[in-house]
A = this chain, B = another copy of it.
Amino acid sequence: MKPTSVNPIIPEIFKDTSLSEDEAIHVFRKFKKVLITKGEFLLKPGKKVTDLHFIQQGCLRTYAIDLAGKEHTLQFAIKGWWISDYIALFGKTRTNSVSYIECIKDTTLYKISKTDFDNLCKDIPEISHFHIRNLEGAFASFHKRILENLTLSAKERYLNFIRAYPNIEQNVKNYHIASYLGITTESLSRVRKEIANK
């Protein structure tokens, strides 16, 4: 798509996807701009999940709380990423949300309903292929994450994390990272100390 598009956000959302001006306008109509500030929630458990969210600017995280009351971070999302409760939105058995999506830095995002997105995929092959590329990439990342969780120590996982998300560190708290890595904040603190002492 040419940079002369009337909807500058569309080429940003659908990177490497060529849409006609008409298509871009049609697609743009399905999105809704949302501003959300630090500390607010995009989603809470028990709610019906209907939307996908593209982050133009900011930072959020998805987490769940277990029976013991502990938080577990499923994913972080920054500029250029999509976020939702994918277990509820993509799962074969449609359930309500099991997760919180918390804004951890003032954020501008564009949301679209899954229904509208599905229709765009049906109507516009380029959108289909875009979605496939994204899903395949995300699928590979999650395989990798599971493999790393199985094979690496807490220390190695932490080092991987700060290497993979070098820019995220300013926004997220250490206890967010700990709950993402599957360890306690105390353990993470000790790991960090160990790394610093070298």
Give me the interface of A with B, judged by CB distance under 8 Å. Answer: 64, 66, 70, 72, 74, 86-87, 89-92, 98, 121-122, 125, 128-129, 131-132, 135-147, 149-152, 179, 182
Contact = CB atoms under 8 A, between A and B. Distances in A.
Closest 5 CB pairs of A and B: A90-B140, A90-B136, A135-B135, A72-B150, A91-B140
Contacts of A143: 74, 86-87, 142
Nearest to A114: B136
Nearest to A70: B151
A64 B144 CA distance: 11
A137 B92 contact: yes
Contacts of A151: 64, 66, 70, 72
Contact of A129 (B72, B92, B128): B128
Contacts of A149: 146, 149, 182
A52 to B, nearest CB: 11
